[in-house]
Amino acid sequence: MKPMDGILGLPLDRLTLADGGEGVLVATLSRPEKRNALDATAIEDLVRLFDAVPRHDVRAVLLRAEGEHFCAGLDLVEHHGADRAPHEFMQLCLRWHEAFNKLEYGGVPVIAALKGAVVGGGLELASSVHIRVADATTYFALPEGQRGLFTGGGATIRVAAMIGRPRLVDMMLTGRIYKGREALELGFCQYLTEGSSEDLAMDVARKVAANLPLTNFAICSAVSHVQNMSALDASYAEAAVAGIVNTQPLARERLAAFANKTAARTRPEGES
């Protein structure tokens, strides 16, 4: 595995990278003047980044954004100017899928710190990460319907998986906006903090980075793959993955710690 230093030198225009310590790579959407709208260049940056991440010693990625908004989705101004033909936009969508599939299936946990607008393609990006952390400013919407557009970055798949098809269709038709506790309860995010989503997302990323890499690899690739299988094949695949992960030599130390009663027990804080 190549060291994280190698990844920090990737040539990127719309993303900046930093070493967050403890194996956490901090990737920042860095086009705040355009509310981090995703133009073709940004999508190629995401492809390049998530192609490289699994081949470097990155234990977790914290995906964050500069400015007040996580991401305003497809660059509508670029799209308007380009006046694309159907096949050109389809090709562009396939690059979005390339980026988001690499992210989701890459085997390295990606934790997103969400704030402000997480809309359109921004919600599609957020829906492909493994853990979403929101705060009081974060809101989720799919304004495509009002703009005369349709989702093209996986919302029909991943947002439907998060919140269910009827809610997705309502959001697409009406532009309905979700935020706060309701968004948490419906599954848009796994965490909602009264503080900053960035701080909590970093805590979560560091915690996750302390797991064994092969275990995280299985969680952040096998879980997604088995969703695409029949129950019969999924149970076989789960057994095969568990066969490999649960016999890894590095796990023996953790198992020994449980057996000799030095490992932490799994119980709610404060209970003995």
**Residues designated as active site:** 124, 144
Residue 142 CB, nearest approach to ligand 1HE (Å): 8
3-state secondary structure of 24: strand
Q: Which two tokens stand for residue 270?
A: 């404060």
Residue 267 CB, nearest approach to ligand 1HE (Å): 43
* 17 closest CA partner among 47, 55, 51, 62: 62
Cα–Cα dist 32/37, whole Å: 8
Cα–Cα dist 13/58, whole Å: 21
Residue 107 CB, nearest approach to ligand 1HE (Å): 25
Count of residues that bind ligand 1HE according to CB under 6 A: 23
Which one among 117, 133, 162, 241 touches ligand 1HE, defined by CB under 6 A? 117
* 37 closest CA partner among 68, 78, 70, 71: 71
**Cβ neighbours for 211, distance < 8 A, ≥ 6 positions apart:** 59
76 forms part of the interface with ligand 1HE (CB under 6 A): yes
For residues 36-75, which are near ligand 1HE according to CB under 6 A?
37, 69, 72-75
Which one among 20, 23, 109, 121 touches ligand 1HE, defined by CB under 6 A? 121
- Nearest 10 degrees: Cα torsion 57, 118, 202, 225: -40
Which of the ranges 30-38, 45-53, 177-185, 213-221 carries the binding residues for ligand 1HE, by CB under 6 A? Answer: 30-38
Between 77 and 244, CB nearer to ligand 1HE: 77
Q: In the complex, which residues of this chain contact ligand 1HE (CB under 6 A)? A: 34-35, 37, 69, 72-77, 93, 96, 117, 119-121, 143-144, 147, 149, 151-153
